[in-house]
């Protein structure tokens, strides 16, 4: 039986990350900070599906790993693997200085924010219906 209450807790957390990203974009804030919020919006939205289905939520930040499971249960159009891999890199490799550290462009984070919104609202609708 679906666990809507637990799933909505995850959706609420994802919403906070999404709105934080929106605020940071509006205020022309640091793109690496925006990128982390975008990643967290998607990660928590994906994990809401696990919660809804009553499946143990994996302790991972890999959006591709989560998405591979999610797409077996919900269809999210216009999402491609390359974008999810790039967004995952924000959290997995780009958070800390080092050889792979880069600051994403404003255009890149704004495009990825749009993807996060699509994912968030698609999953929220799935859970609420």
Write the DSSP symbol of residue 55.
P
Query: How far is Cα of residue 22 from the mean position of the Cα atoms in its chain?
Result: 13
State how many domains the chain has.
1
Confidence band for 17, pLDDT divided at 50, 70 and 90: very high
| Tens-place pLDDT, residues 76-112 | 888 899 999 999 988 877 566 776 677 899 999 999 9
- Domain of residue 19: give its range: 4-128
Confidence band for 68, pLDDT divided at 50, 70 and 90: very high
**3-class state of residue 69 by DSSP:** helix
- CATH of residue 84's domain is 1.20.120.330
* Total-model pTM: 0.94
50 and 80 in contact (C-beta within 8 Å)?
A: no
């Amino acid at each position: 039986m679906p666990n809507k209450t637990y799933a909505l807790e995850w959706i609420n957390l994802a919403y906070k990350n999404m709105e934080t990203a929106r605020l940071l974009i509006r205020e022309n804030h640091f793109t690496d900070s925006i990128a982390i919020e975008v990643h967290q919006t998607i990660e928590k939205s994906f994990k809401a599906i696990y919660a809804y289905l009553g499946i143990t939520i994996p302790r991972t930040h890999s959006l591709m790993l989560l998405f591979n499971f999610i797409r077996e249960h919900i269809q999210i159009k216009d999402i491609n693997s390359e974008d999810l891999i790039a967004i995952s890199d924000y959290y997995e490799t780009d958070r800390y200085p080092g050889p792979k550290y880069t600051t994403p462009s404003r255009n890149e984070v704004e495009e990825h924010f749009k993807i996060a919104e699509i994912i968030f609202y698609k999953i929220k609708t799935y859970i609420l219906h």
